[in-house]
């Protein structure tokens, strides 16, 4: 069990949020690094107002907070972090147009492997999600922010959905040979606005693409349309290329459907058929 972090203060949640511009995905999602001290980090995230916010939206702040905390353990300036996996669980309902504060803390460092956990709180200070990320240190200089003036985050100007920036196309014709577990395939062409500081699609933003893919599988199986993503496990195999015409596809399938929960899987596959990202999610109609 992940222990509650002891230094949560309402005053800190209400503090002004000012930061230097970091990368396009920050501006796309409204994600702001609030504070970094030692191996802990805090991130503020406005929730979309034009779609129902989900655990996949929280994943953006989970990946960022965990990564910023883990960065304190980088051995030198010639190294950087790569996210290997992200796991998250929803513990309460999310409110469209509201905001979250997500806290990250390093839990273990073993050689080049770093594990960090996160907790997400809503504006009332209630715990709404938990997350864990594993990172690996790679021999590559860490990207730095370009010089620029700081900008304050206007809490009233929460971003709209960034679904369009993911570039997911309609379902392609055809399915897998396994008629008992058909695969729904969509094209994927993330725009430059989903880019992170390492010049690749932001790992947290990718969780939203994977969730939308899994929803395609749920819809094909006529599963409960009110089901929400409560748990997700993501593995990042390779970077996802940006832009149209990259040949990336997003297959998804329903693993199991039941009266209480359904389990779906999704992936992003490159033009050479190599896996880029894989995920499995649990959906249900939970009273949160």
136 neighbors 91 (Cβ within 8 angstroms): no
End-to-end CA distance of the chain: 19
Q: Lowest mean pLDDT: which of 72-76, 98-102, 241-245?
A: 241-245
Task: Report residue 13 as tokens.
Answer: 């949640």
Top-ranked range on mean pLDDT: pick from 54-63, 162-171, 215-224, 235-244 = 54-63
| Angle, CA 50 vertex, CA 234 and CA 257 arms, to 5° | 45
CATH architecture of 22-141+161-284: Roll (3.10)
136 neighbors 82 (Cβ within 8 angstroms): yes
The bridge status of strand 99-110 relative to strand 113-122 is antiparallel
d(C-alpha 277, C-alpha 266), whole Å: 8
d(C-alpha 74, C-alpha 71), whole Å: 5
Considering the entire predicted model, what is its pTM? Answer: 0.86
What are the structural domain ranges in the chain? 22-141+161-284
Q: Indicate whether 278 pLDDT > 60.
A: yes
Q: What is the pLDDT of residues 165-206, one digit of tens each?
A: 999 998 887 655 455 667 899 999 999 999 887 778 999 999
Q: What is the pLDDT of residues 117-167, one digit of tens each?
A: 999 999 999 999 999 999 999 887 665 544 333 455 555 556 788 899 999
- Which residue in 43, 48, 2 sits closest to 211, CA to CA? 48
């Amino acid at each position: 069990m992940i222990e509650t972090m002891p230094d949560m203060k309402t005053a800190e949640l209400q503090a002004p949020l000012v930061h230097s511009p970091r990368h396009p995905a920050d501006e796309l999602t409204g994600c702001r690094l609030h504070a970094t001290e030692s191996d802990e980090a805090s991130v503020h995230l406005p929730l979309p107002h034009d779609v129902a916010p989900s655990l996949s939206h929280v994943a953006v702040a989970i990946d960022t907070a965990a990564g910023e905390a883990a960065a304190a353990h980088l051995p030198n300036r010639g190294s950087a972090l790569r996210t290997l996996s992200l796991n998250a669980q929803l513990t309460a309902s999310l409110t469209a147009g509201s905001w979250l504060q997500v806290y990250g803390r390093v839990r273990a460092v073993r050689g080049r492997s770093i594990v960090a956990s996160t907790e997400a709180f809503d504006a009332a200070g209630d715990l709404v999600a938990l997350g864990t990320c594993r990172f690996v240190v790679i021999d590559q200089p860490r990207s730095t922010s370009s010089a620029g003036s700081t900008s304050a985050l206007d809490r009233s100007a929460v971003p709209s959905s960034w679904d369009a920036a993911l570039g997911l196309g309609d379902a392609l014709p055809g399915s897998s040979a396994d008629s008992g577990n058909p695969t729904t395939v969509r094209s994927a062409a993330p725009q430059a606005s989903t880019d992170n500081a390492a010049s690749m699609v932001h790992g947290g933003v990718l969780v939203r693409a994977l969730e939308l893919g899994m929803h395609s599988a749920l819809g094909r199986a006529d599963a409960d349309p009110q089901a929400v993503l409560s748990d997700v496990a993501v593995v990042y195999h390779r970077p996802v290329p940006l832009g149209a015409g990259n040949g990336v596809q997003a297959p998804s399938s329903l693993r199991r459907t039941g009266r209480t929960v359904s389990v779906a899987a999704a992936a992003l596959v490159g033009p050479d058929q190599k896996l880029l990202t894989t995920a499995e999610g649990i959906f249900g109609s939970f009273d949160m």
